[in-house]
Structures are given as structure tokens and as C-alpha cells.
């Protein structure tokens, strides 16, 4: 498949990196320095120029392109690129759009007028990711499959956890039924796929796949207690903050917002129904203490500055906030900040790229999720005729090293597989792969 990516910023780079192993990728970038960087690091064709130009798109081979991903920082350029591509036989045209004026009117205009088949709003995608993390406050990563019946969580093993010091086989002997599975363990900066002899150690970060009704059993083994989120403090009322605030109100969660721009405070107060909106600074310790940061169930810092978000998150965690989530535009910082006390970090650019990848994969891959902390990936795949997995038992699969089968959905029932579980045509399976095994794992089910 031939793919044109317009824009070589963080979103474009992430998409090109992920897709170039499987497809013929062309990147268009008007900044010569960015173009040079991506050309030197990735096996893609790079064209320096304006991706909203017909001449440049023709030079990139738009007439033979299956997919256009317009992901520059400029909404208008992205929409124009899609509009031009709509005059050619391009299968799917995706535009990254932040301005609500464009995003909210897309349904009215329709793809035939706006040019894009799909609009991705970075701020809304980021807000959705934060909401999932708040509602599953014990987790550092969250993904759902099979309409929420299967949940994948990144969880910490507490020192006093009943499972600490036990092998996975020993843990299995202590629980009734097969309702959850440890897919991977992050330990001392390394990610591994465990087996029955692997011990869980205090401080391990594990990726646990579970049937949703049995999460409480898994939590108790890990020394965790699920707590309901009732009150959230939000630092920053920009686009991400506004989208998140609206989502939290729909969930019935009490909300306090601190925003340093007075005009934005007025707009927020008019837009929201129940939120308390305060004019102030996210790093004002007196204000944070006065508003009860230590008693909040969740603290989310989503100002426009990474440095402010990181500092505010560290301060509020020290002051007693239970769940702290920070917004970082520099996605490469995400694995680092969780090591210094911040519970979770999200990136609008990474959320956007991941959302686009879900649509790009298509075909046998029904849905997917990328774990921000170690860039592993979980894929929900339908087993088709001709798949090398069809008719085999799990122990016979010989999955690529760094991959593991997590669940099987068959005729409406969920099965956490064991070695003798047979995979059949029509099954929907969830497969987890570490970053180095993702491409091989996707190809395995062709």
C-alpha cells in the first residue's frame, strides 16, 4: 500500500516510522531541517515542499496513493491536501484538525465538501485518553476490547501485595478460573513476556489483560483497591482541558478548574454547568492547598507548557493528590516522568498518531492500542481463512518472540487461553506484542 504523510513533525514522524516497515511511505515536509531528519532516520521517500500544493502531491505520486494522512500543525493545509486528494482515487483521506469550527462542522459538510474522510482532533483524543486513566485510576495505561468486556491495564505490584514474590504459576493455583493473564512485565527498564516460572516482584509494572467483571480479583492479588473518582482538579482550561471538563461533567464528577487566563475562565464558566472555575496559577501552592488538592481523587495538569505541567504534577503529588496525570507535548518524556512520581502522562501528538493507526491498520485488525510507557501494542484480530493460526492450539502457534496471545472471543464468550486452547476461523483474539515484535506479529496472522 502506498501512503503519503503530509507533515514530518512528531505525529508525522511517528506514523511514518510505524508504517514504513509494512508499506511504501512518502513524507512531504516544507521545513528542510525536519525533512532531512526524517530522511536520515527512516526508510521513506521525503519530498520538501507544501503538502497542500497539487504539484507537490503529484510529485509524491498522489494518483497511485491508497492513503493520505495530512497531519501538519495547520488545519487549513491538512484540509486542502485532503480536498486535492479527493480528486484522485485515494481510498482514505485523514486530516488532523484542532479548530472546533472545522471539526464540529465536518458532519454537516460531509467528506465530499471537506475533502477528508476522517478528521482526528488531537485535543479530544487526548482528553478521551485522560478520562480512561481517571476512571481506571489504579492504572498507568488503559485499553478496552470486545466492547469493554476485556480490559488491558498497566498496573504496579505493591510491596505488600499477596502476589509479590510468587511465580505466575503459583498465582494461578490461588485463583478460581482463568479470567486474567499477565502479558508483560516492565522491570529495571526492560520489558519481558513472562512464563509460568516468572516471579512478580514489588515495584514491577505489569500489563494485565482481564475480563472486566473479574478485575477486583486481580486488584486484590496486586494489593490494589479500586476507588471511585468523585472529585478532580484540572489545571489549565485550554482545548484539552475544555474537552476533558465536558467529559467529566457527563460522568457526574465534581470538578475544580484553575486557569490563569481570565477571559478563558469566563468562557469556561459559561460553557460548563457544575464546575468551579478559578482564576489562578497552576503552581500556586497556597491556592492548591486552599482548594483541597490533597483531598482530590485525581489531578490533571493540561496547561500549554510542558514545564508547568511537570512541575505542577510533581508539586501536587507531593502535596497528597492521589492520581496525578500530566500532559506532555514532548512524548519522549513520557517513560521518564512516571519514574519520578507522576502516575501517568499523555501526549496529544502521540494520542493522535495512535488513533490514526487504528484506522490505517484495518482489515483483519479490528482495533489496537499502544501502551505509551514502553510502546508495546495490543491488537484485536479476527482469524480469517488462510491464517496460519487457524486450527492450531496456542502451544503450537510459535508466535514471534516478544508476543503473547491474551484472549479469545468466540460466539459472544471470552476465553483467557491456555496451551491447549484451539484457535478457529472467526475467532477474535487479542494479541500483545513488545515494540520490537509488532510488525512480525501483525504479519503472523495474514
Q: pLDDT band at residue 361, thresholds of 50, 70 and 90?
A: low
Considering only 247-261, 263-277, 327-341, 391-405, which range has the smallest mean pLDDT? 327-341
The C-alpha cell at 260 is 490563569
Contact between 36 and 60 under an 8 Å Cβ cutoff? The reply is: no
Tell me, which fold does domain 2-120 have in CATH? Rossmann fold (3.40.50)
Whether the predicted pLDDT of 363 surpasses 60: no
Confidence (pTM): 0.83
**Per-residue pLDDT tens over the stretch 141-154:** 888 888 889 999 99
The predicted pLDDT at position 178 comes to 82
Long-range contacts of 332-335 (CB under 8 A, 24+ apart): 333/306, 334/372, 334/373, 335/372, 335/373, 335/374
Whether the predicted pLDDT of 165 surpasses 60: yes
- The residue assigned the cell 485522560 is 130
- The residue assigned the cell 512524548 is 331
- The residue assigned the cell 488513533 is 355
The predicted pLDDT at position 99 comes to 84
Greater confidence, 100 or 272? 272
The predicted pLDDT at position 438 comes to 83
Sheet containing 150-156: order of strands: 141-145, 150-156, 205-211, 180-187, 190-192
Whether CATH 3.30.420.40 fits 138-221 = no
Contact between 23 and 42 under an 8 Å Cβ cutoff? The reply is: no
Whether the predicted pLDDT of 212 surpasses 80: yes
Whether the predicted pLDDT of 377 surpasses 90: no
Greater confidence, 426 or 351? 426
Q: Which CATH architecture has domain 126-132+227-350?
A: 3-Layer(aba) Sandwich (3.40)
Whether the predicted pLDDT of 183 surpasses 60: yes
Q: pLDDT band at residue 113, thresholds of 50, 70 and 90?
A: low
**Per-residue pLDDT tens over the stretch 288-325:** 999 999 999 999 999 999 999 999 999 999 999 989 99
**Per-residue pLDDT tens over the stretch 14-58:** 899 888 877 899 999 999 999 999 999 999 999 999 999 999 999
How far, CA to CA in Å, does 24 sit from each of 67, 365, 369?
Answer: 11, 19, 23
Domain boundaries, the chain: 2-120, 126-132+227-350, 138-221, 376-444
Q: Across residues 61-76, what is the average pLDDT?
A: 94
Residues 6+ apart with CB under 8 A from 284: 258
Topology alike, domains 138-221 and 376-444:
yes
Beta-bridged to residue 3, according to DSSP, are 25, 67
Whether the predicted pLDDT of 109 surpasses 80: no
Contact between 327 and 302 under an 8 Å Cβ cutoff? The reply is: yes
Structure-derived torsion over alpha carbons of residues 117, 119, 120, 123, reported in degrees to the nearest 10: -170
The predicted pLDDT at position 347 comes to 87
Q: Class assignment of domain 376-444? A: alpha beta
Beta-bridged to residue 205, according to DSSP, are 156, 186
Determine the Cα–Cα distance for residues 105 and 98; give it in Å rounded to an integer: 12
Contact between 432 and 381 under an 8 Å Cβ cutoff? The reply is: no
The C-alpha cell at 71 is 497531519
The predicted pLDDT at position 185 comes to 95
The secondary structure element, H or E, covering residue 128 is helix 122-135
Q: Across residues 366-375, what is the average pLDDT?
A: 78
Do strands 254-259 and 276-279 pair parallel, antiparallel, or not at all (unpaired)?
parallel
DSSP 168-218: HHHHHHHSSS--EEEEEEEETTEEE---TTPBP-TT-EEEEEEEGGGHHHH
- Mean pLDDT in the chain? 89
Residues 6+ apart with CB under 8 A from 67: 1, 2, 3, 4, 90, 91, 92, 93, 94, 360
CA 188 remoteness from chain centre: 23
Amino acid at each position: 500500500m502506498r501512503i503519503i504523510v503530509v507533515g514530518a513533525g512528531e505525529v508525522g514522524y511517528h506514523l511514518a516510522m510505524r508504517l514504513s516497515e509494512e508499506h511504501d511511505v512518502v513524507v512531504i515536509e516544507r521545513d528542510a531541517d525536519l525533512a532531512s531528519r526524517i530522511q536520515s532516520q527512516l526508510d521513506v521517500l521525503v519530498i520538501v515542499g507544501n503538502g497542500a500544493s497539487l504539484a507537490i502531491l503529484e510529485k509524491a505520486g498522489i494518483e497511485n496513493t491508497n492513503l493520505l494522512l495530512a497531519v501538519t500543525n495547520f488545519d487549513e493545509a491538512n484540509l486542502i491536501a485532503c480536498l486535492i486528494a479527493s480528486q484522485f482515487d485515494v481510498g482514505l483521506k485523514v486530516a488532523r484538525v484542532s479548530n472546533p469550527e472545522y471539526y464540529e462542522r465536518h458532519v454537516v459538510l460531509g467528506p465530499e465538501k471537506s475533502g477528508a474522510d476522517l478528521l482526528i482532533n488531537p485535543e479530544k483524543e487526548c482528553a478521551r485518553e485522560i478520562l480512561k486513566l481517571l476512571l481506571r485510576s489504579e492504572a498507568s495505561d488503559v485499553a478496552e476490547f470486545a466492547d469493554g468486556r476485556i480490559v488491558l491495564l498497566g498496573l504496579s505490584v505493591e510491596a505488600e501485595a499477596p502476589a509479590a514474590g510468587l511465580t505466575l504459576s503459583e498465582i494461578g493455583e490461588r485463583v478460581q478460573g482463568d479470567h486474567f493473564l499477565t502479558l508483560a512485565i516492565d522491570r529495571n527498564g526492560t520489558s519481558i513476556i513472562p512464563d509460568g516460572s516468572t516471579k512478580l516482584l514489588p515495584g514491577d509494572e505489569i500489563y494485565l489483560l482481564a475480563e472486566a467483571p473479574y478485575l477486583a480479583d486481580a486488584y486484590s492479588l496486586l494489593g490494589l483497591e479500586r476507588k471511585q473518582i468523585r472529585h478532580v482538579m484540572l489545571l489549565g482550561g485550554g482545548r484539552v482541558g475544555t474537552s476533558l471538563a465536558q467529559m467529566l461533567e457527563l460522568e457526574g464528577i465534581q470538578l475544580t478548574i484553575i486557569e490563569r487566563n481570565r477571559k478563558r475562565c469566563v468562557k469556561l464558566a459559561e460553557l460548563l454547568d457544575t464546575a468551579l472555575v478559578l482564576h489562578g496559577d497552576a503552581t500556586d501552592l497556597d491556592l492548591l492547598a486552599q482548594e483541597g488538592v490533597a483531598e482530590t481523587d485525581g489531578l490533571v495538569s493540561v496547561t500549554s507548557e510542558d514545564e508547568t505541567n511537570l512541575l505542577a504534577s510533581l508539586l501536587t503529588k507531593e502535596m497528597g493528590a492521589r492520581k496525578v496525570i500530566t500532559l506532555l507535548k514532548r512524548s519522549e518524556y513520557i517513560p521518564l516522568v512516571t519514574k519520578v512520581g507522576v502516575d501517568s502522562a499523555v501526549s496529544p501528538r502521540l494520542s493522535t498518531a495512535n488513533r490514526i493507526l487504528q484506522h490505517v491498520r484495518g482489515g483483519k485488525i479490528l482495533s489496537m492500542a499502544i501502551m505509551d510507557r514502553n510502546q508495546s501494542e495490543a491488537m484485536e484480530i479476527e482469524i480469517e481463512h488462510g491464517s496460519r493460526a487457524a486450527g492450531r492450539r496456542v502451544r503450537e502457534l510459535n508466535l514471534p518472540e516478544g508476543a503473547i496471545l491474551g484472549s479469545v472471543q468466540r460466539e459472544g464468550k471470552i476465553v483467557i487461553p491456555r496451551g491447549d486452547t484451539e484457535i478457529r476461523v472467526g475467532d477474535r483474539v487479542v494479541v500483545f506484542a513488545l515494540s520490537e515484535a509488532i510488525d512480525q506479529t501483525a504479519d503472523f496472522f495474514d
